[in-house]
Chains A and B, each alone.
Chain A
Amino acid sequence: MGKMANGTASEAAQSGMAVEVFDLTVAYRDKPVLWDIDLAVPQGLLMAIVGPNGAGKTTLMKAILGLVKSAAGEVRIFGKPYSMVRSRVGYVPQRGSVDWDFPTTVIDVVMMGAYARLGWLKRPGRNEHAEALSALDRVGMAEYADRQISQLSGGQQQRVFLARALMQDAMLYLMDEPFQGVDATTERAIVDLLRDMRKAGKTVIVVHHDLQTVGEYFDWVTLLNVRRIASGQVSEVFTSENLRLAYGGKIGFLGEEELAQARNTSLNGERLRDEVGL
């Protein structure tokens, strides 16, 4: 913990990759949840992690964050172990991981993102309050600041978690199923936010459940099913062959055409950004 200077885009750029995973193996009792995962995620992009239920997607995210013990392997973030760069990593957990009946307001939750900065004894003050308000504003929740969290809808809860992560002003964000069960407005708001973050040179890794939107929202995708099936640019890696390997033939709803379209969308998006110089 303690006060670490947040990495600027240029500082992080020197380290090369945002996230590197080497030979990561995670087991529960003696069942493998992740086997020998190798990953190298460059900076400044949006990556989706997809795979069937039980594929280990959340576990991978938690292992990167050190929330879960690994049986073997290593994770490096911006070239260093996670514990040294904590302040540059923001986590947005699944909505269902907390009890929303807890007596606290929206802005209180958002200010939690500043706790690490404050150290042990200091309370969040006016500065943090203002920062939290602006973070809420970015996710379109500023008017809900003093609302009790139990009164929020699913999408609103998700945005509160996002605002909390924004408080950390990190360079790498890990989000666990942020699009799960949210309304269309929230989904659009989140996508816009992600694109803003990419523009600012940040890296966002998202555990994603909806294959239909992979091409539209993300630049990179990692297909996971206990082992790494494939990882790379959507335009190259999002093929029916890889999907079949990952899902075992259970993805009848995504045909060849749709996949090609998804790859194209992603490729076009990339080309457009290259042209414009983003």
Chain B
Amino acid sequence: MSGEFLRLLVTDYTLRTVTLGAALLGLTSGTLGAFAVLRRQALLGDAVAHATLPGIALAFLLTLSKAPLILLLGAAVSGWLGTLLVLAVVRNTRIREDAALGLILSVFFGLGLVLLTRIQKMPLASQAGLDSFLFGQAATLMVGDVQAMALLAAPVLLLLVLLWKEWKLISFDPEYGATLGYRVRLLDTVMTSMIVVAIVIGLQTVGVVLMSAMIVAPAAAARQWTDRLSVMVGLSAFFGALAGVCGAILSSSTSQLPTGPSIVVIISLIVAFSLAFAPNRGLVWDWVRQARNRSRLRLDTVLGNMMLLARQHEEADYGHKAAAIGALSGGRIGIEARLRELRREGFVEMDRQGDWHLTAKGVARCEMIVKKWEP
């Protein structure tokens, strides 16, 4: 299957373009999304994405060109303006970040829709291309689009790698960074701009409405697998690209399936899988660990009770019926199974009369448990 895919990749122009575009999207949104999430700017990504819409429409209205670079630049300017306004509102009024974000997000988007419907009425029948910015349409990607994306992505990724330690520092402890002499405000602004560019790059593929998910989800998934920043960022890029390419190809080859939602569903599955099964942090492993602990505790309780019973008879290996043991250990249900488990572990034995008693190993374990519970 993949051999076929690779062959097609080389020969089929559309497939190649779509794959490249989606991979670029995943790469940039994954890497910068990781930093956005760590800097608590996840929801800002949502606002920026929605704020790009009027910029795209205006860029078209002013230049009457659908050249990808022009539209993307318009998107970037508009998105940037959105962040500035959010900051202005938060810094100067008592309105908090969440309301400022929601406000900019919805108002800019509404303005964008107004402009789009205006364009729709224009005699040039030109809206068709702009519509794809709403939910993304990978099938419409052309080489020119991918070139524009690459043009924007290259400096951003380069800057990220070159100043890696600086980004790490200001994301972790900006104040300390300031004392070292770094111009933290400037670096902050640059980083936010890089995030805006990453969002803009993905707009044609994922669309304005859902782009924020590509900032948050790959990073959230990656975080589950590692504790190292470099690995997290790399993994985030990988997940983003993976979801991007799969979603884009799926959507291009299926009718009436917009790309954005397809990619989001795939990345969400990756997130769910990561949350559940990642080593160490996986919730499933947590649940298994807890269940095992509880089971261990129950078994140890049975052992302890058997020890108590035996002490009453001066012989550590004095046997008792299962029912009697069960009565002490919180009910007779399941006591048989637990005793059998303990026998499998070699802590107890059953004698010919059907009485259960502790083995030497069992006695030793009891003493160890007691020591563990006493300081």
Contacts and interface: CB of A to CB of B under 8 A. Distances in A.
Does A touch B (CB under 8 Å) in the complex? yes
Contact of A86 (B166, B173, B179): B179
Given A1-B181, A115-B180, A93 B173 contact: yes
Interface size on A, as a range, is 20 to 34
A102 B181 CA distance: 22
Contact of B169 (A115, A123, A148): A115
Contacts of A164: 176
A124 B223 contact: no
A104 B175 contact: no
A97 B162 contact: no
Contacts of B10: none
B227 interface: yes
A265 to B, nearest CB: 32
Contacts, number: 76
A200 interface: no
Interface in B216-241: 223, 226-229, 232
Interface in A75-111: 83, 86, 89, 91, 93, 97-99, 102-105, 108-109
Interface residues of B, number: 25
A120 interface: yes
B196 to A, nearest CB: 23
Contact of B179 (A89, A98, A99, A118): A89
A118 B180 CA distance: 11
Contact of B164 (A89, A99, A123): A123
A5 interface: no
Instruction: Tell which of B163, B166, B172, B182 has the most Cβ of chain A within 10 Å.
Output: B172
Interface in A111-127: 112, 115-116, 118, 120-121, 123-124
Interface in A1-30: 1-2
Contacts of A65: 178-179
Contact of B173 (A2, A98, A103, A105): A98
Contact of B181 (A112, A116, A123): A116
Contact of B180 (A86, A102, A124): A86
User: Chain A CB within 10 Å — which of B166, B171, B227, B229 has the most?
Assistant: B227
B165 interface: yes
Given A120-B163, A123-B164, A102 B176 contact: no
A103 B182 contact: no
Interface in B167-194: 168-169, 171-173, 175-182
B179 to A, nearest CB: 4
A102 B164 contact: no
A162 to B, nearest CB: 12
A93 B228 contact: no
Contacts of B38: 102-103
Contacts of B166: 115, 120
Given A98-B172, A112-B173, A103 B179 contact: no
A231 B171 CA distance: 37
Contacts of A276: none
A167 B228 CA distance: 22
A67 B172 contact: no
A121 B163 CA distance: 6
Contacts of A121: 162-163
A19 B133 CA distance: 58
A123 B164 CA distance: 8
Given A112-B172, A121-B163, A148-B227, 6 more contacts: A91-B175, A97-B173, A99-B172, A102-B171, A108-B229, A115-B182
7 contacts: A65-B179, A97-B173, A102-B171, A103-B226, A104-B172, A112-B165, A112-B169
8 interchain residue pairs of minimum CB distance: A1-B181, A116-B180, A148-B227, A91-B179, A103-B229, A86-B181, A98-B173, A103-B227
